[in-house]
Amino acid sequence: MCSICGSYDISGGAAVRESVLRMSETMCHRGPDAKGIYEDGNVCLAHNRLAVIDIENGSQPMSVSFRGREYTIVYNGEIYNAPELRRAFKELGAIFRTECDTEVVLWAYILHKELCSRLLNGIYAFAVYDKAENKVYLSRDRLGVKPLFYARTGDKVYFASESKAFIKGGVIKPKVDKRGIWQLLFLSPSTIPGSDIFRDIKEIAPGENAVIDRCGMRIWKYWQLEAKENRDNAKDAAEKTIELLWDAVKRQLVSDVPLCTFLSGGLDSSVITSIGARILGERGEKLSSYSFEYENNKENFKNTLFQPASDDEYAKDLAKELGTEHTVLTASNKAVADCLYGAVIARDYPGQADIDSSLLYYCSLVRKRHTVALSGECSDEIFGGYPWFYRREMLERDFFPWIHDPYARSRLFREEAVCSREGYDYMSALYKKTVESAPCLDTDSEETKVARRATVLSTAFFMQHLLCRKDRMSMASSLEVRVPFADHRIIEYVYNVPWEIKFEGGVEKALLRKGAGLKNLLPDNILYRKKSPYPKTHSPEYEKEVKKLLSSCLDKDNLFCELIDKSKVYSLIENGGENVTWFGQLMSRPQLMAWLYQFSSWCDIFDVEFV
């Protein structure tokens, strides 16, 4: 992928080139192959490029003149229906100079203006400067695979691919208010849609457009889920679903650089890898795949309700059956702990502890041989793979169902500083509002209504933190990760399949399993395997490593030490306590200590000020 950033002065004053250059420099990891800048009066745009398609051409910012008007784009993403759009735009007068999808996106705006994003199938965040109208058009993909943030100081509006660009670029002070602290203590690694942890930075939310011009900035939704009637039977629904997924994978296998898949041995990554192996096999090519393990995990693994089985043998066996060129990457406990600091830099805030840091480590190894990877994220949120889709009582509580102990982190902080009860109430109200916003039909069964609410909640929050993690940890090593399940056509269709079909026989993700079965994509032991999440380390050596890291933070002169209750944190380190899962399926006591270390590191990295 790439990074984009820029500035627009609403008063018409000159753009601050130096600020934009500093912002761009903070994100050069996202695009090591080329950099460029464009300046015109009150507008400045900058770009760092990771070349994937048409490597020789496609430098950005890219400008095109059409009918006496000039347009310039900075773009981060991949457009999977670019060939069809290219043909259609040529009939409307477009003249193409490259094979890059960047140029396709630019022509989409030139020919269709603010309706252009509705034409795009892909993952993207981009800005187009319309010189004749002196305005900048911003857009982000429907499900939020690619990030886009903005901030305003006086008359100047800035935008960037990562929030660190504003702070490290010197345009925004690293101030955090109670709303930001509450996001960290009660919601993270998720954040509030349209928001950021830092007070003065905001997010262009998934499926949103914006325009910045001399009148200011306006933002609007161009896409959201809609409830529609679906009369397909179970077999037809499964066939349509797998056809959409097959087409999504086929489109996303296009690359001029080495490509691979992440293969855990679970249903989602296995379906993606199986389809990819078949498509490339028809071309006479061999697919590469990777699975991830941890040092000493086999000796220390204990099955749980959340993680019933280890992944390693499933991935190896399937890779052998599919004939992929498979590599198993192993991380030591020290490597996972050592990467916790870098994971904070990559994500811009304390995220998901070793789940972040291990992915950061693995992606750095994958990048040695491959530039593009396909991954299985977003399936559970679309097909109903989480228990809150079918356990109604989990949605009827007053807090996010994947946060098992809302106060697990806040009770380690000084109450007078963080006002935890007020924070809980704020997040609870946000939760209820999101659940109630789900589009439903009067004819829906009660089970389908519950599933719709779970889908909207999961895509707005849980999916966003997974996509953020994958984007930031991979792009830190200039590795582009594509997510076939995030094709909007799939979620639009599956959202309207009755829950009775999606959960047929009481089986999680029955619709996806049925579709994969119709195509004979997987052996039964994987096709009907119970969900198992991204793997974590189970070794007690990792806990020892994070105890040392956290202990080293307790005498620092930073915001972390101002906010925490040191006696409680010391007790956590020395006495441990009950090992309770407190977030999702993976976050327990070792991850809590690692997260606290990340919080302290974040305060140091950004010199955070609490206001």
- Per-residue CA distances from 87 to 95, 252, 279, 454 (Å): 10, 19, 24, 39
Instruction: Write down the pLDDT at residue 307.
Output: 54
Containing 383, the helix (H) or strand (E) segment is helix 379-383
Query: Nearest to residue 135, comparing CAs of 206, 68, 218, 64?
Result: 218
| Six token digits for residue 170 | 């010197």
* Whether 100 is catalytic: no
Nearest-angstrom CA–CA distance, 568 and 580: 16
Catalytic residue chosen out of the listed positions 2, 5, 339, 603: 2
CA angle 59, 65, 68 (to 5 degrees): 165
- Show me where the domains of the chain are located: 2-221, 234-392+459-527, 540-610
DSSP 392-426: HHHHHSSS-TT-S-TTTTGGGB-HHHH-HHHHHHH
Backbone angles phi and psi of 203, in degrees to 5? -120, 135
Distance CA 105, CA 103 (A): 5
- Calculate the alpha carbon distances from 536 to 300, 334, 519 in Å: 11, 14, 32
The answer to whether 2-221 and 234-392+459-527 have equal CATH topology is no
Return the half-sphere exposure (C-beta side, CA atoms, 13 A cut-off) of residue 461.
Answer: 27
Looking at the domain 2-221, which fold is it? Glutamine Phosphoribosylpyrophosphate, subunit 1, domain 1 (3.60.20)
CATH superfamily, with its number, for domain 234-392+459-527: HUPs (3.40.50.620)
* C-alpha to C-alpha distance for 452 and 487, rounded to whole angstroms: 18
* Closest to 101 (Cα-Cα) out of 51, 38, 143, 142: 51
Three-state secondary structure call for residue 603: helix
Task: Please write the tens of the pLDDT for every residue from 557-589.
Answer: 899 999 999 999 999 999 876 677 788 877 889
What pLDDT does residue 488 have? 98
Helices of type H across 255-332: 267-282, 297-300, 312-322
Q: What is the largest CA-CA distance in the chain?
A: 72
Given a cut of 50, the residues of the chain with pLDDT beneath it are 305-306
Element (DSSP H or E) covering residue 139: strand 135-140
Name the percent of the chain in helix, strand, coil, to the closest 5: 45, 20, 35
Compute the distance between CA of residue 504 and CA of residue 524 in angstroms, rounded to an integer: 17
Q: How far apart are CA 116 and CA 73, in angstroms?
A: 13
Quote the pLDDT of residue 52.
82
Q: pTM above the 0.85 mark?
A: yes
For residue 566, the tally of other CB atoms under 10 A from its CB is 12
Report pLDDT digits (tens) over 8-56. 999 999 988 999 999 999 999 999 999 999 999 999 999 999 888 767 7
